[in-house]
Structure 1
Amino acid sequence: METSQAGARRREGVSGNTWSALSAAGTGPIRSKSPRAILDLFGPHLSHRQKLELAAMEQVWFFTVDDSNDDGYDDENDNYMHVRKEQLHYRYEVQKLIGKGSQGLVLQCLDHKTKTLVAVKMMSLPLCPSTASRQMTELEVTKELQGKASDDLYGVIRVLDTFQFRGHNCLVVELLKKSLYDVMSKGSISRICVRRLREYTRTILHFLLYAKRRGIVHGDIKPDNILLTADGKVRIIDFGCSCYLKSHSQTVGGTLPYMSPELPLGYQVTCAVDMWALGCTVAEMATGKDLFDSSTYGEHLPCCVEILGMPPTKMVDEAPNGSLYFDPEGLPYNLSQQRPPGSLSLQRALQGHHPQLVDFVSRCLHPRQR
């Protein structure tokens, strides 16, 4: 199907005719208008979709018109093609893209109701049952973890709003500028100082205990998903790989260098996968480098074996997917002659850090007894 000219402009991030109805009406700094007032003022300029959207709204805080004509809102990956200064949910004004991944994108927006800057995560279109289910779980988990002072006590990102816009599930959270990854990769130093490392680790542990009490596995602990407030407090974000323990999930999620071997081996997800990821994250904070520098599932297990030695025989023998990664003798298929099991000690991989740190990381990476 050919994309309309309006859709093509949206694809390029350009709006053909976008303007604020509130300012155009000469009303000045009005905080809100009723949907009926907007329809009366600009009905002839609105697409059928916009008219339906407005009719379903109780209040309009921000309004723009574009000439997309109900066509071309999403790209080939089912992500929303945002346009600067356009409206989302007739309340949020898009300012810029601040993040993009396989599950959607994150936009910095101005909330015209509260007059504050926020981050809006727009998930990809849920076109299949598995995607729809995953997104519903993400929204449920994020809301479940909200509580009195859960942000300051347990490092949970503060959720401000949820809504659906043009088929996309959207999550509005507090806007934070830097992640631990940003601090390490873009700052003057690649490692986190010991004092900060302890503070960050303590908060992440508090978060994981809080999540465990609610039967939740985060599933993707890593420096990118640990944000910092202006005064240096930790906030955990991105629950796109999260699940409930009661679901007995066997889905392989998360990010490979931080992934517990239990997941590719086919074991059910438990809170142990978050502890493994925490160990990898602490190691990266201490050294500025990935502990397990793997880019494929086939490479990941040999990377782990090189530092930690062979996993327990029972763990390999009982793994549902064990034959995909281990030969009949129980050795990883991609085992390199230059990287035999246990040839790189954890202490050396951690660049000679304090024995207490090495011991902590070692305990995080200890395989479950089965």
Structure 2
Amino acid sequence: MGRKEDDCENWRNGDVCSYTQSGSCKQRRHQPPLDTHYSQSDETSLRPDSAFLCNDAFSNNTAETEGKDGDEEDEEGHLDYHIGLVMKGRYKVLSTLGEGAFGRVVECIDTHKDERVAVKIMRNFETFCEVARSEIAVLEEINALDDGNTFACVRMLNWFEHEGHICIVFELLGLSTFEFLQQNNFLPFSVEQIRHMAFQIFRAVSFLHRNKMTHTDLKPENILFVCSDFDLEYDHITMCEQRKPRSLDVKVVDFGTVTFDHQHHESLVSTRHYRAPEVILELGWNQSCDVWSLGCVLFEFYLGQTLFPSHDCKEHLAMMEKVLGPIPSHLLQKTRKKHYVHNGRLNWDEWSSSDDYIRKHCQPLKHMKMKSEAEQQLFDLLSSMLEYDICRRITLEEALWHPFFSPLRT
């Protein structure tokens, strides 16, 4: 089930939008809206509901169908549910949280336990049913291997079928880290905040790696706060109010594209901006592609913006070279993408308009100023994670012992 290069964007999960009362559509800087999952509606919070809504008609349709007696299926295979629908005699739909190529996510009340949950309702097409069955198998494995809920992976609570749609029940979490950045005007997280979040994320993904799994789609949209509550603080440097999360507990979500070591590895994985160079160059990939993705994620936390805001594979490689230096010639020699290479170097026109865009949006890593020892340690860790050669790239197990995390280990 390989994908062509033209399908590079969000080829599995698609563009995802979360329900908002305002019906507005806020797009990510430098890229289209991406996945957001299991986002909790908190009426007592100071924040607006969720960050995205790409289809006003969907919002209106949700309101119009409230109170209908039955539920149907639309032409795109989505379950055309209504507010108040009870699925499996247990899960009562309260609101819509998100929509994507895979289906829709709704907030429900579990009437058996009197607690709120998120239910992912897959589209009734075989392709998405396969993805759902794969995700359920992975989540059951995670639940069995981590029965104490030690690692920061979202918990699957149940799954069932409703009118031919596979539905997966999850614990209800808060905003994604991307949504939080967006609602905070893309002001970056502090180094201390990054340290606490990264330690949990690294432990969770390292747990997957030890159990022969690769996530393959790590990005800020797939890292969610357990609780979205925040305090407003005035920042004297930026001269504006900032949101400070009350809790830095996070969880990794979206296991629909997890690949076991023994399984066939699709040639194309990851959302573009977090895609490792070996994937773009079709050199083959392993668990270290997750390490690269997390390096990009932490940089985004630090900068408040995407590290590689590209929509083209070769431009993406040129951005990497601008930030990290030249791609090693031995990797370029091995690529099947021969049109990417000229005279042993990346085939890139440094006088093009695209290069002007790169110079504007990409700063060499060596030119970034580090103000503290903690920042120096963070940059040293990121440099080890963003190694072109997977043989030189740090593992997450090794990364957890990096000096950056020493305050948390002690």
Amino acid at match of 1:208: V
State the SS of the aligned residue for 1:12: helix
The structural deviation recorded for 1:122 is 1.5
Q: Is the 8 A contact 1:118 1:175 kept in 2?
A: yes
Query: What secondary structure is seen at the aligned counterpart in 1 of 2:93?
Result: strand
Give 1:243 shift. 0.9
Corresponding residue SS for 2:277: coil
Larger Rg: 1
Q: CA deviation at 1:269?
A: 3.1
Over 3 Å counting, the alpha-carbon distance change for 1:17 and 1:191 in structure 2 is closer
1:293 to 289, 309, 326: 309
SS state at 1:178 partner: coil
Identify the residue that residue 180 of structure 1 maps to in structure 2. 177
Matches within 5 A, 1:116-131: 116-128=115-127, 131=128
* CA distance in structure 2 between the aligned counterparts of 1:166 and 1:265, rounded to whole angstroms: 42
CA displacement, residues 167-190 of structure 1 (integer Å, 9 cap, x when unaligned): 222211100122211221113662
Question: Which stretch of the first structure deviates more once superposed, 179-188 or 324-333?
Answer: 324-333
Aligned residues: 307
* Residues 198, 298 of structure 2: 8 Å contact kept: yes
Amino acid in the other structure paired with 1:348: H
The one of the two structures with greater contact order (alpha-carbon pairs below 8 A, sep at least 6) is 2
- Alignment match of 1:143 (pick from 132, 135, 140): 140
TM alignment of 1:1-370, pairs within 5 A: 12-13=61-62, 14-15=64-65, 18=68, 65-66=69-70, 72-76=72-76, 78-128=77-127, 131-147=128-144, 152-187=149-184, 190-230=187-227, 231-320=247-336, 322-327=337-342, 329-333=344-348, 336=352, 337-338=355-356, 339=358, 344-348=363-367, 354-367=375-388, 368-369=390-391
Q: Do the aligned partners of 2:85 and 2:92 also contact (CA within 8 Å) in 1?
A: yes
CA apart distance, 1:326: 3.3
| Inter-partner Cα distance in structure 1 for 2:146 and 2:264 | 30
Partner Cα distance (1:351, 1:288) in 2: 16
Which blocks of at least 5 consecutive residues in structure 2 are unaligned?
1-56, 228-246, 393-410
Q: 1:222 to 1:200 in 2, by over 3 A?
A: same
Q: Give 1:148 deviation, angstroms.
A: 6.7
More displaced, 284-293 or 92-101?
A: 92-101
Mapped to 2, the partners of 1:281 and 1:287 lie a distance apart of 10
Once the two structures are superposed, residues 2-41 of structure 1 have per-residue CA deviations (whole angstroms, 9 ceiling, x without a partner) of xxxxxx99993333863xxxxxxxxxxxxxxxxxxxxxxx
Q: CA deviation at 1:214?
A: 0.9
Q: Alpha-carbon deviations, 1:124-166, whole Å to 9, x = none?
A: 22334xx444332222112211247567522011110011222
Q: Which runs of 5+ in 1 are unaligned?
A: 1-7, 19-64
**TM-superposed deviation, 1:228:** 1.4
> Which one-letter code corresponds to 1:73 in the other structure?
E
**SS of corresponding position for 1:369:** coil
After TM superposition, the score normalised by the length of structure 2 is 0.67
Take 2:371 and 2:80, find their aligned partners in 1: how far apart are those partners? 47
Secondary structure of the structure 1 residue equivalent to 2:299:
helix
The 2-side partners of 1:194 and 1:217 are apart by 27
Moved more, 140-149 or 348-357: 348-357
What SS does the aligned partner of 2:150 have? helix
